[in-house]
Chains A and B, each alone.
Chain A
Amino acid sequence: MHADPIGVLTGPHFIDGDHACSEGAISAGCRFVAGYPITPSTEVVERIAERFPTVGGVFIQMEDEIASSIAIQGAVWGGKKTMTVTSGPGFSLMMEHIGFAAMTETPCVFVDVQRAGPSTGLPTMPAQGDMMQARWGSHGDYGIIALSPNSPQECFDLTIKAFNLSEQFRVPVMMMMDECVGHMIERVVIPAAEDIKIYPRRYYEGTKEDYRPYEPERDLVPQIVKAGDGYKIHVTGLTHDELGYPNMSVSTQGKLVRRLVDKIKVNAERIIEYKEDMVEGADVVVVTYGISSRTAIPAVEQARKEGMKIGHLRLIVVWPFPEQRIRDLASKIKAFVVPELNFGQISLEVERCAGGKASVTLVGHAGGTVHQPKDIYAAIRKSVKG
């Protein structure tokens, strides 16, 4: 299925990542957004607020992020594709509802334009400190998907991908932007609507009597219906059986939570996406995501100029993490270098998967600005020398 042409602004644009994200959402068919103002994500909802009344969408500025993150889920069950947008402090407030979306298998998109924390931190400056929060922030065990764009063009492309993945796997998908990518202005080319692939909602089409709301299909994802279609569904955040009814048994908990985790795990190879540059034959591989992938480029190029064999692996999908690829590389290379605007989040994943077979060097940063390429270069050089 391709995008509804209403709202797709086909052609070249010169816009920032936040606005590109809004356009990605509209192109993906998002027609309900609830949000609450917070720097540096506000431009996303400002553009949505301006565009939605002309494309049949409903935007509401809720009283807080908690309300926004549950209003979008009500709207999903009302039949809309939905998104909320925030930054660190608001993302923290939304955690309970990421768990609710995971538990009730409500497909929706959470955009986090990351700023430096903790707490209020540096509201107008970048960081990548919410990466583990995106994965583990809500209590209990569940699977999610998180994407990390490094340009306004990718803010557009990956927002569409975020919607598609959320529909395909019925999970909340986190769009992990950062202040730098959000406010960076670049050329963004929006394709023709017929060239934008849309994954349609997995609506149940069988008879009402046979419908079991939480009975999964072969890929572990159940089919959905919406309120008003006469199915008289029950949706609860409590542990539930295949009918959707609360069931407080250990066996139901085991079966349900195992599936919520497994539906991402077993489908991981279909979800994972990364870009590699000269990774084959490299001694050191720099693993990056988001804005840090761009500050790493001059460092990688400088090292290559000096004859070092440096590969660059950029994560586009951060969660699920490409465990197998890192494992394979670890047995072939000397070291990984991981620059990120935090003091060790994704580098820990790299370390876990490397399993001691290759060293892992974090180029940490408290955020507030981006890395100096020279710091990344120094880490690369040190790793090459061992």
Chain B
Amino acid sequence: MPEELFEIEESVPANPVEQYLRMDRMPHIWCPGCGIGTTVNCFARALETSGLDLDKVAIVSGIGCTGRVAGYIKLDSFHTTHGRAIPFATGLKLANPELKVIVYSGDGDLTAIGGNHFIHAARRNVDMTVILINNGIYGMTGGQVAPTTPISAVASTTPFGSFEQTFNLPFLAESCGAVYVARWTSYHVRHLTKSIKEAIAKKGFSFVEIVAPCPTLYSRRNKIGDGLDQMIYYKDNSEIKNGADTKTVSMEFQGKIVVGKFVDRERPTYNDAMMEYYQKKLGDKFVSSDEMRKAFHAQNRN
């Protein structure tokens, strides 16, 4: 009898995303109904079809609930300081341009404390993909107001609701120079998976904003239900508008969410600009790093 059970278990196919996760670290810390796990699933599926050599993919997170993603993904993974995932990733990428570098972090981490790094990495067009989970709140510390908290939404540090203007992140990313900008919600798993795959394949600073629920600290406090209620809200209120002018995609409390791929354009990356500029300017005197030379020539062959 026990043997028979064993055989049945063996015949169950493994969850295809498990190979991309550190299963020895499960269960994860995220709350029931939280959107982060869903996005990690999409990310793993995007990796699966990306055709990338996973030994050459690195993931960098900052601090916060989304900051924990790096700890669960089975890649070279770096859980850095609050707000500083992007400059860490910049150093990593410039040291070894062969690496595919992905930053995966939250709205507070990347656009409040890390906002300056975000705009400068986009300006430089450092070749990295930034996946940002926007849950409109600081989750890990107990639900404080964020630059993304909609006006009138209640947070623990805005007990009467927030009155600050919120960040329109796709507009911010586009105006700073990102070459790929998309927004989805954690309801749009197929679109999101495709978008992450595209962003990872894109050369340059690519940005995917994912609107995701924080049932414990945002939805509950704002009396808008649980994780499932938020999925229904996303489903009923999202409007797919590929190519939308990012100026027009601001979000409001429980209002319409414009999603889609907004920007997909070409600009020389930081590395390529450096290589080309120095080659022109310094001629034979220019000695690039071995890694930089290898990556540059590999790209130009493609």
> Which B residues are in CB contact (< 8 Å) with A235?
77-79
> Which B residues are in CB contact (< 8 Å) with A230?
55
Whether A56 sits at the interface, judged by CB under 8 Å, is: yes
Q: Are A71 and B96 in contact (CB under 8 A)?
A: no
Q: Are B80 and A70 in contact (CB under 8 A)?
A: yes
Q: Interface size of B by Cβ–Cβ distance < 8 Å?
A: 44
Residues on B close to A: CB < 8 A?
Answer: 22, 24-25, 55-56, 58, 60, 70-71, 74-81, 84, 87-96, 98-99, 116-117, 120, 274, 278, 282, 285-292
* A57 CA to B274 CA, complexed, in Å: 12
Q: Are A229 and B55 in contact (CB under 8 A)?
A: yes
* A247 CA to B89 CA, complexed, in Å: 24
- Closest Cβ of chain A to B57, distance in Å, is 9
* A318 CA to B277 CA, complexed, in Å: 43
Report which residue of B98, B287, B290 has the largest number of chain A beta carbons within 10 angstroms of its beta carbon.
B287
- Closest Cβ of chain A to B58, distance in Å, is 5
Q: Are A70 and B282 in contact (CB under 8 A)?
A: no
Q: Are B55 and A228 in contact (CB under 8 A)?
A: yes
Whether A53 sits at the interface, judged by CB under 8 Å, is: yes
Q: Are B60 and A74 in contact (CB under 8 A)?
A: yes
Per a CB cutoff under 8 Å, which of A56, A227, A237, A246 touches B58? A227
> Which A residues are in CB contact (< 8 Å) with B25?
245
Contacts A56-B288, A74-B60 given; does A79 touch B87 at CB 8 Å: no
Q: 9 additional contacts, CB 8 Å, given A71-B88, A234-B77?
A: A32-B95, A53-B278, A62-B87, A75-B94, A78-B91, A228-B58, A234-B70, A236-B78, A246-B79
> Which A residues are in CB contact (< 8 Å) with B288?
53, 56
Whether A58 sits at the interface, judged by CB under 8 Å, is: yes
Q: Interface size of A by Cβ–Cβ distance < 8 Å?
A: 47
- Chain B contact residues, majority secondary structure: helix
0/1 string, A223-235, CB within 8 A of B gives 1: 0001111111111
* Chain A 217-253 residues near chain B, CB threshold 8 A: 226-238, 245-246
0/1 string, A7-30, CB within 8 A of B gives 1: 000000000000000000000000
> Which A residues are in CB contact (< 8 Å) with B117?
63, 67
Q: Are A72 and B76 in contact (CB under 8 A)?
A: no
> Which B residues are in CB contact (< 8 Å) with A66?
84, 87
> Which B residues are in CB contact (< 8 Å) with A158?
none
Q: Are B71 and A227 in contact (CB under 8 A)?
A: no
- Closest Cβ of chain B to A207, distance in Å, is 15
Whether A184 sits at the interface, judged by CB under 8 Å, is: no
Q: Are B289 and A74 in contact (CB under 8 A)?
A: no
Whether A276 sits at the interface, judged by CB under 8 Å, is: no
Contacts A54-B285, A54-B287, A234-B77 given; does A75 touch B71 at CB 8 Å: no
> Which A residues are in CB contact (< 8 Å) with B286?
53-54
- Closest Cβ of chain A to B292, distance in Å, is 7
- Closest Cβ of chain A to B238, distance in Å, is 34
* A60 CA to B274 CA, complexed, in Å: 10
- Closest Cβ of chain A to B196, distance in Å, is 20
Q: Top 7 closest A-B pairs, CB basis?
A: A78-B95, A74-B91, A71-B91, A74-B92, A67-B87, A75-B95, A75-B91
Q: Are A228 and B84 in contact (CB under 8 A)?
A: no
Q: Are B76 and A74 in contact (CB under 8 A)?
A: no
> Which A residues are in CB contact (< 8 Å) with B96?
78-79, 226-228
> Which B residues are in CB contact (< 8 Å) with A232?
55, 74-77
- Closest Cβ of chain B to A85, distance in Å, is 15
* A57 CA to B56 CA, complexed, in Å: 21
Q: Are B91 and A79 in contact (CB under 8 A)?
A: no
Q: Are B91 and A34 in contact (CB under 8 A)?
A: yes
- Of the A-B pairs whose beta carbons lie under 8 Å apart in the complex, a sample of 12, sorted by A's number, is A6-B287, A31-B289, A55-B287, A58-B292, A73-B88, A78-B92, A82-B91, A82-B95, A227-B96, A232-B77, A235-B77, A245-B24
* A70 CA to B92 CA, complexed, in Å: 10
Whether A77 sits at the interface, judged by CB under 8 Å, is: yes
> Which B residues are in CB contact (< 8 Å) with A245?
22, 24-25, 71
- Closest Cβ of chain A to B298, distance in Å, is 14
> Which B residues are in CB contact (< 8 Å) with A96?
81
- Closest Cβ of chain B to A71, distance in Å, is 4
Whether A289 sits at the interface, judged by CB under 8 Å, is: no
- Closest Cβ of chain B to A46, distance in Å, is 17
